[in-house]
Structure 1
């Protein structure tokens, strides 16, 4: 690929009102820097360079980021919406331990399929189309689960919901990465990490809804509480479908890789507020852009994840995802089951404790991880988080069934686990899976990572209720092996995707 055209060091907004609203000193600085001169785009490499340096400077791009995080919100809400109601479902449908685990795991089975094919499709057909498709999955699945007459219908719609989640994560992560700059405030690492506080905020809000309905709904109608909570998941998806045309746009990096430089420039001007212009047709390097896109547009892209350049990155990303998710499914996702069954607490205490742990400690941990990732790097934060999780799980195993003040200690250890997960491996597993690959492989990389992650999640969701029933609090010794293994893997592999410009490796 030919070298990118040299450019000026800064770019201004294409919005005249925005430029006129600048302070005199800012305007003078812009004139001195020569920022009124547009940057000329002649290749996909030019697009990547400009976006890596400047990211976005417009409110529409902020809306795209919010919509992408809204997709993550729906993922988390749909995953956790049955967490509290699973005991009621057991009673209503007369489920044994295996069927309870199957109801929980059915969403993961769908997520495996959705992620595996969604990762390919998001690279093949674009971020926008796939994002709209998975919103439809969310609406249909949430309503179907809410009215399910038996466990098999519930399992079927949870499976459909999982497909939507599997489709959403690759496209949401791609939007967060490709509508952000490489370094500085609001960079790719920070915005990809934003998925974590969004996830825990959604989970916490789910428990807020559960608490409100639990208090206001007559006691003799508590059997339908889980149906109301699950059905509410259709509301945010409908909102996204209503506002999509005004704010959402295709990723200019993906368009550039498809050879559509004109479309990429239009999005950069309309959504990024960047002063760019397309080079005359005879000066464009469209062939190189098409070739770059073709590499990631076929199923061979999966094999490339294990090529010499990406092999180690793929393996360590899988280790972080699998080991952190095993613990998350057992502890964070299973918090209501742990507090009710293992800690022998009442439903109201279970709801409040789950709410505080997720909305408080989870969201704060995710925000902290976002704020320090630039300073300490993805690898170091992930390693530290794994260590805290292992210590918390070991303490829970030692405490056993808590009594008196030990109940607070046990709940504090659950909170410490979630806090470390949200700011450490749970947040950074997406950094590893998203930022280790260039645009042409990003969807496939995320999708493959998520499909393997969900496959292991199925095992943990099915096995944890069974192990908890037979081992009691001794199950925490087994779960503690996951963060220990994750710490060893991250400690051995030195790869850190923070602020790495993987686009120009090609």
Structure 2
């Protein structure tokens, strides 16, 4: 079958094609390649959570030092996200997506071979920096290659990918554990992340072109049309109107932070940042340490706790898929409210009844927690950020939200093992339940729904040079 042919007269035609295009197979391929980093993010963050006993045994780690090691990636991601979005707006999406993966490969190999906890900590910081730099750009790219109707759904598929990675990490740990790797278990599994990263890098280099909407804002009509051609595997005939193909002056936001908090964007930025940060607090406290929780609920047997971890996280895959598919119909804000409500309910139930009711009921509550989180705030916070700004501000906006949200990741990752060791599972759940309750209140108060909106016209309201 021959490739589709279209005619481009102006740069607005590029935006119009992207918003209307129905090239589902090509878009699906690009989504898989771009969201591959989300798989790596989840895999690399959770893989140590499934092997904390081997890690602790080899390096004789205290609960506090274990928290430092586990928090290193979110800490590095804070700085990576802060500059990733900025440079993606400046130099393009594809370059940052490639540089971040190369950094992740180096970090994964270095972490797997680390002879001391301090060196492990340094390479985990590098891994976090790479993930932080890549993630907001990945969300931005997905939003910019998706048609207007499917933007929200496509961005939200990241949560499905996340939980597939979490389940995969548990199964991979089970495989290496069964092979008798002993205390080297965590090294094999962390090193495997470098193999996955290399595969994704190769796919990106072969199949991924620059974002057509970024090119439209930063390149000539001919250059932007060529990027459109490569991404969607179509033939583009260029028939520019007079003056359309002249050299294009780059547009940049003069004061990005001030713009993100001006009258037009303030509530969007606050809502996206609050949801993304609070979902990070609740997930990285509970979801990241499900192997530890499984040991409490199911028992200390390694294979049983890992099997329980894999089964429980299937609820996250289902929740993420449901959330993505319902985004277009119900909107991101309504799904966030529902998700926060489910999460708060499950955490309170576990806090009140763990140790006083059936084990299967507690396990079901943990699964329901993941379902509500994945279909609600876990998915929607990052989607709201990616969908709330026009192209010239999107990289900086998603980068800012992603960067600040990593405080939530760091907080949840660091405090959970300490609180759990001090107060036990019941009180820990009740304490952390404050996060979804606060998220529910904020989302109810701030009324902004980005799904289905075309924001490119807002360039005129943004201060540029």
Instruction: State the TM-score, normalized to the length of structure 1.
Output: 0.87
Give me the whole-angstrom Cα distance separating, in 2, the residues matched to 1:308 and 1:86: 46
Residues 478-500 of structure 1: CA distance to partner in whole angstroms, max 9, x if unpaired? Answer: 11111111111111111011111
- Look up the match of 1:269: 229
- Look up the match of 1:247: 207
Among 313, 338, 341, the residue aligned to 2:268: 313
- Look up the match of 1:256: 216
Report the count of equivalent residues.
458
- Look up the match of 1:47: 14
- Look up the match of 2:101: 135
SS at match of 1:232: helix
Asked if structure 1 preserves the Cα contact closer than 8 Å seen for 2:3 and 2:233, the reply is no
Which 5+ residue runs of structure 2 have no aligned equivalent?
460-465
- Look up the match of 1:463: 415
- Look up the match of 1:329: 284
Relative to structure 2, which stretch is displaced further, 315-324 or 83-92? 83-92
Give me the whole-angstrom Cα distance separating, in 2, the residues matched to 1:418 and 1:286: 52
Among 168, 171, 179, the residue aligned to 1:216: 179
> What is the Cα deviation at residue 286 of structure 1?
5.8
> What is the Cα deviation at residue 244 of structure 1?
3.0
Give me the whole-angstrom Cα distance separating, in 1, the residues matched to 2:197 and 2:220: 30
> What is the Cα deviation at residue 274 of structure 1?
5.0
Q: 1:275 to 1:241 in 2, by over 3 A?
A: closer
Asked if structure 1 preserves the Cα contact closer than 8 Å seen for 2:59 and 2:117, the reply is yes
- Look up the match of 1:451: 403
- Look up the match of 1:437: 389
Asked if structure 2 preserves the Cα contact closer than 8 Å seen for 1:342 and 1:472, the reply is no
- Look up the match of 1:490: 443
Among 54, 71, 74, the residue aligned to 1:108: 74
Segments of 4+ moved more than 6 angstroms: none
Give me the whole-angstrom Cα distance separating, in 1, the residues matched to 2:133 and 2:141: 13
> What is the Cα deviation at residue 251 of structure 1?
0.5
Asked if structure 2 preserves the Cα contact closer than 8 Å seen for 1:58 and 1:271, the reply is no
- Residue 380 of structure 2 is aligned to residue 428 of structure 1: yes
Give me the whole-angstrom Cα distance separating, in 1, the residues matched to 2:230 and 2:25: 10
- Look up the match of 1:400: 354
For the pair shown, the structure with the greater C-alpha radius of gyration is 1
Give me the whole-angstrom Cα distance separating, in 2, the residues matched to 1:121 and 1:270: 22
Residues 310-352 of structure 1: CA distance to partner in whole angstroms, max 9, x if unpaired? Answer: 1000000011111111110111111112222576542222101
Instruction: State the TM-score, normalized to the length of structure 2.
Output: 0.94
Among 426, 429, 434, the residue aligned to 1:481: 434
SS at match of 1:496: coil
Relative to structure 2, which stretch is displaced further, 81-90 or 376-385? 81-90
- Superposition map of 1:72-151 within 5 A: 72-151=38-117
> What is the Cα deviation at residue 419 of structure 1?
0.8
SS at match of 1:497: coil
Residues 338-384 of structure 1: CA distance to partner in whole angstroms, max 9, x if unpaired? Answer: 222576542222101111122x1111111111111111111111100
